[in-house]
Structure formats: C-alpha cells, structure tokens
Amino acid sequence: MNLHSQAPAAVPHAKKNIADLAIFGGEPAFRETLHVGRPNLSGRARLMSRIETMLDSHWLTNDGPLVREFEQQIAAVAGTRHAIATCSGTTALQLAIRGLGLRDEVILPSFTFIASAHALYWEGVTPVFADISERDYCIDPAQIEPLITPNTSAILPVHVYGQVCDVGAIAEIARRHDMPVLYDAAHAFGVTQGGKSIGGFGRASVFSFHATKFLHSSEGGAIVTDDDRLAKSLRSMRNFGFAGEDNVTSIGINGKMPEIAAAFGLTSLEEMDHVLSVNRRNYDEYCRQLTGIPGISGIRFAAEDKSNYQYVVIEIDAEAAGLDRDTLHRLISAEGVLVRRYFYPGCHRSEPYKSMSPGIAKRLPRTERAITRVLSLPTGLAITPVQIAALCGLIRFAVAHADEIRARIT
C-alpha cells in the first residue's frame, strides 16, 4: 500500500481582485497549507514490515542489519566503495572534517544552509566564505584561489539545490595547492554528471537524509568515499572511537544512525525512481506555468547532469516583476503556501560569522544578490499539477497587479 496522506485537498481558488488576496484580508487560496519540505512518504507497508522485523530482532542501533544494508545501497548509488551512515548530515560533515584532519581555515560558499559553516566552526575550523558563480548558485572556482593562505586546509564546496559544482576546476585548484576537497552534497543524492555519480568527486562527500530531502531516513546522513583508511577511521569515530569491544583508539562521538532511520531510508530508496519522476513532472510544470511572467526566472539543470529536482527555485527580479522577493514571499505565504527563502540571509550574515567579518558582504556580490532574489517552491509527492498551476497563477496575478499591490502595502 502506498501512503498518500498527502492526497490533494480542495482545488485552490483563483484571485480575481487584489482585495481578495489574503495579505489584504481575503480567504487564503489554499485551504490546506502547502509545505516546501513535506516529506515524501510512500511504501508504508514495507516500512512497517521493516520495523516489525527490527522489533522481532531486538536490534535497534549500533551497526545493525538495516544500517548495513542501507550503507551498501547508498554506496552503490553514490558510486563509491564506502558509505558511512550517520544520525544527521551535520554530524556526517563534522566527522568528515575531523577524519580528514581539517584545521585552521576552510573555504566554502556563504550561500548554503548554515550547517555547512557550523560543522566547520564546531570542529574548531574557521569558515572562509567565497562568492558563488554566475553560472549557478555554487562556489565560483575563480574566487577560491585568492582566498588560499598558508592556513587553508581544504575546500568545502556545496552542490547547491543539487546543481553540480564546477568539479573539474575545483579539483585542479586542490591539486595545485595539495589540499583535500570535501563536498557538501546534502542536496545531491542520486545526481550524476556526465554519467559519473556525485559521490565520485573529491576525497569524500556528505549527504543529508533529513525528512525534507529527496531521499530521507527521517533524520540521517552519510559520508561516502573511496578512501579505505578514511572510511575505517570514520566508522570508529562514529562509534565513540571504538576499534573493538573495549579498545578505544581515537576521540569519537555518538554519530550512529539508528535502525529505524535505516528502515525509513531503505523504504525511501525503493521509492526513489517514483519520487524522481514526480519531481521532474512538477519541475516541468512549474517551468511551463511560469514562462512569460516578467521578472520571474527559474533554475535550469545542465542537460548532461541527472538531477533529483528536489528544489524548485525561482529568482525574482524586483524591477522587472514590480514586486520584490520579500513581498512575494509574504503574499504567497499568506495564501497558505509556505515557500522558503533558502539560503537567506547567507552564512556571512548569520552569527557568529557576521560579527567575525564585518564588511565581508562587499566581496560576495553574487551571494548578496542571490539572497535577496531566491524563493524555493514546494515540490515532491505532496504537490499536484493543479496546485502548481494555482500557485503559478497566483504569482502571475501578483506580478500583473504589482503596482496596485505595492501601493496598498506601503
């Protein structure tokens, strides 16, 4: 049985006059709230069966059979020899940072979820923020080299929204400076570039399997790598540093994935193709419905990459649309669609980094531009083409009446 508790509610109603907009006191167009991060939940019977088996076995955590099976399957999809499952993507990042011996400074984009920077800082490493490229929202390789100092120990690029970084240029910089690349691939599970799986770049990559992700284990993450020594030490560090029943060989932590999370993860893996096809359908529908709206553009994925289409992101050009991103965000949210401004305000504008580098915004112009323009729209199994059409219709209506809306708001 497939779980579709996310079955579509009543058809959202269209707005005819601006007085009907919910920010002006009208009825919300969506009676049932739409969430950007609604977990993809299906395959309930298989999930329940795995949980029953787990209960029968009396094995709930500590490298159990479900975690081992999950790790094998993750490694197979990632195209790596090893996958080390963890209790979250953030913990996976922290373990990888420590396992790779990163210290002093690491270069990463500011345009990412705060966990990328926090994981470094938590491990005693100072994040050094580089700007993003014009091509996509990923780190610009040209901005990396000028930031490299004798204190730089690594590069931590992020495959933002599942778009693949310029891995070739980044590898070349890392080779020239003899430093490792650790990829934050939290958004990029299942993504390939030129037929090569996303796990195959850099010394290691980290996935997030948080509930809101394309593939999820309710909470969880993994580090994938081809480095046998690194994998062995990460496995030990994930389990308090144990290298045997009572032999502790390093500082470790409890970063283990529990069996119930692996049960979710294995079930989610079985549904991956289905989720991908629904995400792709939603993405195509958004592209179709948003075409021609002045000032609204959407991210495009390179034809040679296989994406997971987990994030549908639009950019709002306030001048052309007549409305800025924040007004549109307020307007849509009031109608019952909880769109998100990922990744506003950027790490460099969040504490503690904001206070550490006042004035840094000046050297991150593309990041500064992106944080004021992007909006993530809902996708996944919980959203239907009818809802997408209604949401895009709302955006079209708002842009068409931008002058009146602005006048009424201010």
- Chosen residue from 37, 43, 180, 380 binding ligand T4K by CB under 6 A: 37
Task: Enumerate residues 6+ apart whose C-beta is below 8 A from 297.
Answer: 314, 315, 317
Our finding on whether 333 is near ligand T4K (CB under 6 A) is no
- Chosen residue from 6, 23, 30, 38 binding ligand T4K by CB under 6 A: 38
Please choose, out of 236-244, 336-344, 345-353, 358-366, the segment that lies near ligand T4K by the rule CB under 6 A.
Answer: 336-344
- Whether 137 and 161 have beta carbons less than 8 Å apart is answered as yes
Tell me how far the alpha carbon of residue 289 is from its chain's centroid.
24
Pairing of strands 192-193, 196-197: antiparallel
Contact characters 373-402, ligand T4K, x per CB under 6 A: ------------------------------
Instruction: Please count the residues of this chain forming the interface with ligand T4K, following the rule CB under 6 A.
Output: 24
- Chosen residue from 6, 42, 73, 90 binding ligand T4K by CB under 6 A: 90
Our finding on whether 88 is near ligand T4K (CB under 6 A) is yes
Closest CA to 223 of 172, 263, 233, 308: 233
Burial degree of 80 (CB within 10 A; 0-12, 13-18, 19+): buried
Element (H, E) at 98: helix 89-99
Element (H, E) at 388: helix 385-400
- Nearer to ligand T4K (CB atom), residue 12 or residue 322: 12
- Whether 94 and 354 have beta carbons less than 8 Å apart is answered as no
- Give the three-state DSSP class for 167: helix
- Chosen residue from 43, 64, 89, 252 binding ligand T4K by CB under 6 A: 89
Element (H, E) at 178: none
Our finding on whether 223 is near ligand T4K (CB under 6 A) is no
**What is the closest distance, in whole angstroms, from the C-beta atom of residue 311 to ligand T4K in the complex?**
9
106-125 residues near ligand T4K, rule: CB under 6 A: 112-113, 115-116
- DSSP 8-state class, residue 375: E
- Give the three-state DSSP class for 89: helix
- Nearer to ligand T4K (CB atom), residue 180 or residue 255: 255
Please choose, out of 18-26, 86-94, 190-198, 299-307, the segment that lies near ligand T4K by the rule CB under 6 A.
Answer: 86-94
Q: 202: left (phi > 0), else alpha (psi -120 to 50), else beta? A: left
Element (H, E) at 292: none
**What is the closest distance, in whole angstroms, from the C-beta atom of residue 76 to ligand T4K in the complex?**
21
Please choose, out of 71-79, 126-134, 184-192, 245-253, the segment that lies near ligand T4K by the rule CB under 6 A.
Answer: 184-192
- DSSP 8-state class, residue 350: S
**What is the closest distance, in whole angstroms, from the C-beta atom of residue 382 to ligand T4K in the complex?**
8
Residues that bind ligand T4K (CB under 6 A): 35-39, 88-90, 112-113, 115-116, 158, 184, 186-187, 208, 210-212, 221, 338, 340, 342
